[in-house]
Chain A
């Protein structure tokens, strides 16, 4: 019973809130009303059972709560007069409600908000996470997170950030901003905070439902699923395990299948964008034997799209597999990423393979200096121990 309720809440929160914001044009009022409705539901459904159409029930209850509040509070009535958006009155008893989650996510990820605010607001409104949960996930005090949310909502109102799906000429750019927020949430989760990874995948799924013909959404969802499928195998007794050494029986085959299906869909839509390419690379990495030549070619394509030296670094790793460490090292040494720890760990690895132990040691040490992550440090320490006593230079 409790799980069912949780599931309904999880599935419906974003949708009901989005519809209420669309209806009221006010984030705070909508959030309070939806919170009330969910509290009433938790109380009533536990004894009376879940109604046949929980969404309609929640939507209607939330709307009624909002109208009650408005009637009670004349100040709020005045506020409602200031709504930026006119909308036709929808009868309260209807079971058909527009799905306005897209409008909501575009508002939350509007570039006029700071990226931290975009992330927090997306998790709060669409994901239904509490302020406390978001604060804990980002290691920020709850008060600071609450303030971040308040400030973001205040700016949406004061600056009149629109609640709508952007017009055609803006949508690509704005959608990229949305995907960046989802991927950022995922990457926070990949670092160990599992709940954020699950949240990002959930958001990716919701987006792919709402905009089923966008290849980059499917690409991002595929990328997250494929990476996530290896979550269990990435660590063994708390220690980092590199892809090649992972126990493949610990990979999540359901997620791999789902990720591959999303990737196929993205490719069928003609997708060649950055997320699709990264997902294709992630998918190739999981194959045995690994097609390094194709991975190198895809990184080349990605590098042209993004101009990112980090992508070039990854291409160097793939080139090292096909053409030898020397060829990889030539690319690495041409990159200006001196403060990037993975540049040094990659250099170290290639130098180690070339038998240039002294230089490899220096590079491992430099990488270690730049790393605060415990598991990564211990990994580098193990490499340094292996190299101890070995000599060799070019």
Chain B
């Protein structure tokens, strides 16, 4: 079963920045650990949502706006692919993502052709 794991930072970036150095190191180590977990295919490092450009097409006209589609706090902050036996296994990996414990969240989306 393939899952796309979407990381939402929420308040996590601010909270992590305020952590003592040892704990910050732990955050990096935990992300590294996720990337090295069997079944994980890391996504490309995702830049800040504030540097995003959102594109819409209305009546053939391309409209661009500054910033992410969702609000800054609700924007996707990162992603990776996980191959796992079932949802419980995916939940366990998601729970290890630092953002999830510092005010952000991880969304588990099964990869599926529904159209």
Contact residues of A with B, CB < 8 Å? 84, 110, 112, 158-162, 166, 170
Once bound together, how far apart are the Cα atoms of A110 and B85, in whole Å? 16
Q: Which residues of B contact A158 (CB under 8 A)?
A: 110, 112, 114
User: Given known contacts A84-B1, A160-B1, is B88 in contact with A166 (CB within 8 Å)?
Assistant: yes
A162 x B108 contact (CB < 8 A): no
A183 to B86, CA, bound (A): 28
Chain A residue contacts of B87, Cβ below 8 A: 110, 112, 159-162
A205 to chain B, nearest CB (A): 27
B interface residues with partner A (beta carbon < 8 Å):
1, 85-88, 91, 108, 110, 112, 114
**Assembly CA distance A161 to B86 (angstroms):** 6
Q: Provide the residues of chain A in CB contact with B112, threshold 8 Å.
A: 158
Query: Is A162 within 8 A of B110, CB to CB?
Result: no
* Chain A residues within 8 Å of B110, by CB: 158-160
Instruction: Across the A-B interface, give the 8 residue pairs with the lowest CB-CB distance, nearest first.
Output: A162-B86, A160-B1, A160-B86, A159-B110, A159-B87, A161-B87, A158-B110, A158-B112
If A159-B110, A160-B1 touch, does A84 touch B88 (CB 8 Å cutoff)?
Answer: no
Residue of B86, B87, B114 with highest tally of chain A CB at under 10 A: B87
CB distance from B54 to the nearest CB of A (A): 28
Report Cα–Cα, A160/B3, bound state, in Å. 10
A170 touches B88 (CB 8 A): yes
CA distance A118 to B27 in the complex (A): 35
Complexed CA–CA distance, A112 and B107 (Å): 11
A173 to nearest B CB, angstroms?
11
Nearest B residue (CB) for A162: B86
Query: What are 26 A-B contacts defined by CB distance under 8 Å?
Result: A84-B1, A84-B85, A84-B86, A110-B87, A112-B87, A112-B91, A158-B110, A158-B112, A158-B114, A159-B87, A159-B108, A159-B110, A160-B1, A160-B85, A160-B86, A160-B87, A160-B110, A161-B86, A161-B87, A161-B88, A162-B85, A162-B86, A162-B87, A162-B88, A166-B88, A170-B88
Name which residue of chain B comes closest to A112, CB basis: B87
Please give the distance in Å from B34's CB to the nearest CB on chain A.
Answer: 19
Residues in A whose Cβ lies below 8 Å from that of B108: 159
Minimum CB distance partner of A110 in chain B: B87
Specify the chain A residue showing the minimal Cβ separation from B108.
A159
CA distance A39 to B72 in the complex (A): 56
Residues of A within 8 A of B85 (CB): 84, 160, 162
CA distance A110 to B91 in the complex (A): 12
Task: Name the CB-closest residue of B to A174.
Answer: B88
Chain A residues whose C-beta falls within 8 Å of the C-beta of B86 in the assembled complex: 84, 160-162
Distance (whole angstroms) from the CB of B14 to the closest CB of chain A: 28
Closest beta carbon of chain A to B87's beta carbon, Å? 5
| Chain B residues whose CB sits within 8 angstroms of the CB of A161 once the complex forms | 86-88
CB of A166, distance to nearest CB on chain B (Å) = 7
Q: What B residues does A110 contact at CB under 8 A?
A: 87
Query: Which among B86, B91, B114 has the greatest number of chain A C-beta atoms within 10 A?
Result: B86
Residues of A within 8 A of B1 (CB): 84, 160
Give the CA-CA distance A112 to B88 in the complex, in Å.
9
Q: How far is the CB of A284 from chain B (nearest CB, A)?
A: 40
B69 to chain A, nearest CB (A): 24
Q: A158 CA to B109 CA in the complex, in Å?
A: 9
How far, in whole Å, are A158 and B3 apart by their CA atoms in the complex? 10
Determine the distance from Cα of A170 to Cα of B86 in the docked complex, in whole angstroms.
Answer: 14
Shortest CB distance A106–B (Å): 10
**Cα distance, A112 to B90, chains bound together (Å):** 11
Further 17 A-B residue pairs, CB within 8 A, beyond A84-B85, A112-B87, A161-B88: A84-B86, A112-B91, A158-B110, A158-B114, A159-B87, A159-B108, A159-B110, A160-B86, A160-B87, A160-B110, A161-B87, A162-B85, A162-B86, A162-B87, A162-B88, A166-B88, A170-B88
Report the separation of the CA atoms of residues A162 and B91 in the bound assembly, to the nearest whole angstrom. Answer: 12
Q: Which residue of A lies closest to B114 (CB)?
A: A158
Q: Please report the C-alpha to C-alpha distance between residue A166 and residue B88 in the assembled complex, in whole angstroms.
A: 9
The residue of chain A having its C-beta at the shortest distance from the C-beta of B92 within the complex is A170
Expressed in whole angstroms, the Cα–Cα distance for A166 and B91 within the complex equals 13
Kindly state the separation between the CA atoms of A160 and B83 in the bound complex, as whole angstroms.
12
Q: In the assembled complex, how far is the CB of residue B64 from the closest CB belonging to chain A, in whole angstroms?
A: 34
* Neighbouring B residues of A162 by C-beta, 8 Å: 85-88
Within the complex, the shortest CB–CB distance from A225 to chain B, in Å, comes to 33
What residues on A are CB-neighbors of B114 within 8 Å?
A: 158
Q: A84 to B114: give the CA distance in the assembly, Å.
A: 18
Q: Which residue of A lies closest to B88 (CB)?
A: A162
Question: Taking the nearest CB of chain A, how far is it from the CB of B113, in angstroms?
Answer: 10
Q: Which residues of the partner chain B approach A160 to less than 8 Å between Cβ atoms? A: 1, 85-87, 110
Closest Cβ–Cβ distance, residue A117 to chain B (whole Å): 14
Q: Nearest chain-A residue to B91 (Cβ)?
A: A112
